[in-house]
Structure 1
Amino acid sequence: MIQNQDHVTVYFPSFHGQLALDITLPIAALAGSLVVSIVGAVRIIQWRARAHSASKSLAKNVKRARRTSWWHRRRTTTSTVN
């Protein structure tokens, strides 16, 4: 950090000024990691929502298939008895 004592001009939407480079670099790294973490969290939430809706749809289809197969078995057994 002693090597990076030069001042750099920083332009940000809510800030404009000069800071020492040894302060600016860690702030930029933290800001970048924060952005990546937020985007990753949003993406994980989207994946979980999609997986949840897919599992509900699958459960609904399985339930429908069980009802259909039960009805089919009932009809075939009653038709063979008569």
Structure 2
Amino acid sequence: MGYGYQQITDDFGQHPILGGFRSRVVGVGPQVGYLFPVEDMQGYLNLKAYGEFAAENRPAGWNAWLTFSISPMAPAGTVAPPRRMVTK
């Protein structure tokens, strides 16, 4: 997984002598997620971490996010059973 960020407009409020001060960065790293039952709902736990490099006008390093959510289970009738392939 990864992302790229390129600021396309100048920052506001800086002194005119400093110039536009546009930033950029590239991040790459792993992501893992896990679905599990929570009574009649389903839980989802996700961890992702990105190492940033090629940074200009911003700090570089590591960013990490931990996400937890609970949502209703998908209705049983909406999931189609797998179709078997028949060859002759």
TM-score (norm 2): 0.18
Of Structure 1 and Structure 2, the greater strand share is in: 2
| Structure number with larger C-alpha Rg | 1
TM-score by length of 1: 0.19
